[in-house]
């Protein structure tokens, strides 16, 4: 596995760790090549997963992948290679070089395309172009493209000339339904945002929408569970909009249980992203029975039937504010939407999703050709 996620090397038991915990028993050995973490805590998991963190900067990750992959290949043959491809596609370059020198078949995993369907800035627009060039360049060499939603990404791949038989729809979104489940709690926040503080999250839109809300609702509250490079600019924007007293800022939480408690303490979750693969947080909130407002990114057009299992909005403060007001004005309808949303995400139960992913890759490793899956567009 060639991954962009170094959390397992850093000792964090996040989504990647939990996936590998169930994925690993299917294989005799799994080697995972990852970027340089802040500190290396572990290089072995579950007895058969071996982690190979880089000592180089991300710009040179392709070289680490090529060198480390060739060294591993000299010791043993590999049935399959996967590459988590995104951004400037340094992982994809490394995988392409490995494939050329070793012949190991590989799957390009595209969880989301930066800047698609909408770009937040010129850098994201350039990365969207880089992704399109990459797909066109490798579409004949790869065994397949693994995508994680059934509408947005397959449509893009088909427009770029990828045959339907090379499009593998395998969800990466999985939920522990024992943790993310409805429980009666007192609501502390009217609106919640959850995610990394980055430009593609579109939080400026949410803050401007919330500024409209507080004009007529002076006690309205917004929770931002976030951390990352854009947080300082978001705080400055909140100050300019004079809404800082209405905001509660929270950093990363210690556990999934703590995160689920924050979802349940909120009347709704709002996602204003420009591009996403899932996003995971919307599905987790829906599993908790919390109504979700989202832009039409990633899985959201598949999971949200507007007005019934959630609300879809465009990338404007006016649209977002109207959706928030709609749910605040009608708590009964909000509860009905939350319950319907929970039903829509039931298929993402963790063990079922990971087992399907592992089984599909095991079949590819045996040389089998998978029948193309179009997915259920309505979830």
Give residue-wise pLDDT tens across range 317-354. 999 999 999 999 999 999 999 999 999 999 999 899 99
Tell the burial category of 329 from Cβ atoms under 10 Å away from its Cβ (0-12, 13-18, 19+): exposed
Contact 33, 68 (CB under 8 A): yes
CATH code, domain carrying 336: 3.40.50.2000
Q: Are residues 72 and 82 in the same domain?
A: yes
Q: Are residues 336 and 353 in the same domain?
A: no
The reported pLDDT for the residue numbered 252 is 85
Q: Are residues 285 and 232 in the same domain?
A: yes
**Mean pLDDT for the stretch of residues 52-66:** 95
Percentage, residues of the chain above pLDDT 70? 97
- The candidate with the shortest Cα–Cα distance to 145, out of 129, 158, 127, is 158
Q: Is residue 378 part of a domain?
A: no
**Mean pLDDT for the stretch of residues 274-290:** 95
Q: Are residues 164 and 197 in the same domain?
A: no
Gap between the Cα atoms of 362 and 262, Å rounded: 37
Q: Are residues 142 and 196 in the same domain?
A: no
Q: Are residues 79 and 51 in the same domain?
A: yes
Residue-wise pLDDT tens digits, 76-85:
999 999 999 9
Percentage, residues of the chain above pLDDT 90? 90
Q: Are residues 167 and 203 in the same domain?
A: no
The reported pLDDT for the residue numbered 379 is 36
- Taking all residues of the chain, what is their mean pLDDT, rounded to a whole number? 94
Contact 247, 238 (CB under 8 A): yes
Q: Is residue 2 part of a domain?
A: no
In the chain, the number of structural domains is: 2
Q: Are residues 133 and 170 in the same domain?
A: yes
Domain that holds residue 359: 15-174+349-365
Q: Is residue 10 part of a domain?
A: no
Q: Are residues 168 and 204 in the same domain?
A: no
Q: Are residues 288 and 249 in the same domain?
A: yes
The reported pLDDT for the residue numbered 355 is 93
**Mean pLDDT for the stretch of residues 37-55:** 96
Residue-wise pLDDT tens digits, 91-143:
999 999 999 999 999 999 999 999 999 999 999 999 999 999 999 999 999 99
Q: Are residues 136 and 165 in the same domain?
A: yes
Judged against a pLDDT cut of 50, whether residue 298 lies above it is answered with yes
């Amino acid at each position: 596995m060639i991954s962009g996620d170094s959390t397992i090397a850093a000792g964090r038991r996040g989504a990647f760790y939990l996936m590998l915990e169930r994925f690993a028993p299917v294989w005799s050995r799994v080697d995972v090549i990852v970027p340089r973490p802040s500190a290396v805590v572990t290089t072995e998991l579950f007895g058969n997963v071996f982690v190979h963190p880089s000592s180089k900067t991300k710009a040179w990750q392709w070289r680490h992948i090529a060198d480390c992959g060739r060294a591993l290949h000299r010791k043993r043959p590999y049935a399959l290679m996967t590459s988590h491809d995104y951004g400037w596609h340094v992982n994809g370059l490394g995988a392409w070089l490995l494939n050329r020198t070793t012949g190991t078949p590989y799957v390009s995993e595209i969880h989301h395309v930066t800047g698609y369907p909408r770009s937040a800035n010129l850098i994201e627009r350039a990365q969207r172009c880089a992704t399109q060039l990459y797909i066109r360049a490798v579409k004949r060499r790869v065994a397949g493209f693994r995508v994680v939603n059934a509408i947005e990404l397959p449509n893009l791949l088909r427009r770029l000339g990828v045959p339907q038989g090379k499009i593998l729809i395998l969800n990466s979104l999985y939920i522990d339904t024992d943790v993310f489940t409805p429980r009666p709690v007192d609501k502390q926040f009217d609106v919640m945002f959850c995610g990394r503080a980055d430009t593609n999250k579109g939080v400026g839109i949410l803050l401007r929408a919330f500024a409209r809300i507080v004009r007529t609702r002076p006690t309205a509250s917004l929770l931002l569970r976030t951390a990352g490079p854009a947080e300082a600019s978001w705080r400055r924007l909140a100050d300019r909009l004079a809404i800082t007293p209405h905001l509660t800022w929270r950093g990363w939480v210690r556990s999934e249980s703590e995160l689920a408690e924050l979802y349940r303490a909120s009347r709704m979750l709002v996602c204003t992203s420009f591009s996403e693969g899932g996003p995971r947080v919307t599905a987790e909130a829906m599993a908790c029975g919390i109504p979700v407002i989202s832009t039409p990114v990633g899985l959201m057009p598949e999971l949200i039937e507007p007005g019934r299992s959630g609300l879809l909005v465009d990338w404007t403060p006016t649209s977002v504010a109207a959706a928030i007001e709609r749910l605040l004005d009608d708590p009964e309808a909000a509860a009905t939407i939350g319950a319907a949303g929970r039903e829509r995400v039931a298929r993402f139960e963790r063990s079922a999703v990971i087992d399907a992913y592992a089984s599909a890759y095991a079949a590819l490793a045996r040389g089998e050709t998978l029948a193309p899956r179009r997915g259920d567009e309505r979830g």
